[in-house]
Chains A and B, each alone.
Chain A
Amino acid sequence: MRDVAVIGVGETEFGELWDRSFRDLGIEAGLKAIQDAKLRSEDIDAVYIGNMSAGKFIDQEHVSALVADYSGLADMHLPTVRVEGGGACGAIALLQARLAIASGMHDIVVVGGAEKMTDVGDVQAAEILSSTADQEWESVFGATFAGLYAMIARRHMHEFGTTREHMAAVAVKNHKNGALNPEAQFQKEITLEAVLNAPWVAEPLGLFDCAPLSDGAAAVVLCEAQKARKFTDLPIRIAGSGQASDFLALHDRRDLTTLDATVIAGKRAFHEAKLGPKDVQVAEVHDNFTISEILAIEDLRFIDKGKGGPATQEGLTALNGKISVNTSGGLKARGQPVGATGVAQAVEIVRQLRGEAGKRQVVGARRGLTHTLGGTGATAVVHIFERGD
């Protein structure tokens, strides 16, 4: 396999962007990444797009060709690929684009992720998110997406003594980081009391335990590593990638408090990179709910199993802590345009490794990790990035 590096990144602001269409967002992120990489359109070999559900959110399918068209690339007649995989679609698109370059088929691929979620009402948006769970064995009985994660949280509390305060500490930390990110949806700190006193969504998860519905897009440019030197002095190499799946329905899983897909995707990525959790200084993990970040830092072996809550409360995952987790603000504060998530996580890690993360810069970051979930963990993807110098 050929080595692959990131040579350009771009993203839009995230939020309830009433005046921006799916097309506007995709174009902005893509063009920013292409300009960052200093590419000409004829350098691009293919476009990969992570998008969960444009068909349901904006009544538009075939968004792969659409994004290339509206990025001014229609007359290049590039191959375009749209990837679906629940919340993990952007991370899978990145993995597939990497493989296309590693195989020798392409040299330069633009990977985008986008979702426009606020053209439908909140209740409908929540139902669309729930469709990544098992419709026949979970949703039809009334299990919502938040409800399924709430059942994971309840079991984690039961087995390990995790508290609501532990989970709330995730939201407080990620809002603190988001306040330092000019592209975040919520650039505002919140108090522990505010999280604990928010209305219930699905007990024991309150409103501030949940990531928001968002519009936004992100893009990265991947390039064969040798060729990458022509475009940048500081390529960010993809050192390892891992993907894993699991039972679609939560109740069929081996263990309700461990996401095996995360464990296995993490092991595969670390194995390929010949690295371990201690070698990583910064991580963007899938905090669609506060409990999800606690599971992720445990299942990726940054923190011992069952200790994710206390570790967060003690600041081990804070900016420049033992490992800096979700410096962008995470899904919780940066926002959660589902298709963009995996790509936006990569954008943040690249910025951190380049030393371009401004007020939220992790000191001495040389290696970073992204972790992205689909559904309630029936898909997990992990990528490990390192400075190419």
Chain B
Amino acid sequence: MNRFQLGGKGTVVTYTIIHDAPAQFELQKPYVMGIIEMDEGVRLTSQLIDVKPEDVKIGMKVQATFRKLGQEGEAGVIHYGYKFRPQV
């Protein structure tokens, strides 16, 4: 195991547009998920946002951004984390 300090930038390796979603993501569908290869060489799975699903391409350059991922029920703990959007 190696530790990597990530700069937040990477490239889309593959992606999907999710139409059948878990209950927690119901309001977001359809949404785009991708596998991103970070510039440091490691890969992550994350949502791709601020882009139309039809504009997502393999090879697209993206950068991480801080977002709400979900929450545990109406009054539960809110989960924060990263999503990726096109590099500007």
Contact = CB atoms under 8 A, between A and B. Distances in A.
Interface of A: 123-124, 126-127, 130, 137-144, 146-148, 150-152, 154-155, 158, 199-205, 249-252, 256
B76 interface: no
B79 A126 contact: no
B35 A256 contact: yes
Given A150-B16, A158-B58, A143 B45 contact: yes
Give the 3 A-B residue pairs with the shortest CB-CB distance, closest first: A150-B16, A251-B43, A155-B14
Contact of A147 (B16, B23, B58, B81): B16
B78 interface: no
Given A151-B14, A154-B15, A158-B14, A146 B20 contact: yes
B58 A251 contact: no
B45 A249 contact: yes
B14 A152 contact: yes
Given A140-B79, A143-B45, A151 B20 contact: no
Given A147-B16, A154-B14, A249-B45, A130 B35 contact: no
Given A142-B31, A154-B15, A202-B16, A251 B22 contact: no
A365 B31 CA distance: 46
B22 A151 contact: no
B26 to A, nearest CB: 8
B2 interface: no
Contact of A203 (B17, B22, B23, B45): B17
Nearest to A156: B14
A194 B86 CA distance: 35
Given A154-B14, A202-B17, A126 B22 contact: yes
Contacts of A204: 16
Contacts of B14: 151-152, 154-155, 158, 256
B6 interface: no
B43 A142 contact: no
Interface of B: 13-23, 25, 28, 30-31, 33-35, 43-47, 53, 58, 69-70, 79, 81, 83
A130 B33 contact: no
A140 B33 contact: no
B28 A154 contact: no
Contact of B69 (A127, A138, A141): A141
Contacts of A251: 35, 43-45
A155 B19 contact: no
Nearest to B43: A251
A158 B14 CA distance: 9
Given A140-B79, A141-B47, 17 more contacts: A141-B45, A142-B21, A142-B33, A142-B47, A144-B21, A148-B45, A151-B15, A151-B16, A154-B14, A154-B15, A154-B16, A154-B58, A155-B13, A202-B17, A203-B17, A249-B45, A251-B35
B46 A141 contact: yes
A142 B20 contact: no
Contacts of A158: 14, 58
A140 B18 contact: no
6 contacts: A123-B22, A139-B22, A141-B47, A144-B20, A201-B19, A202-B19
B33 A141 contact: yes
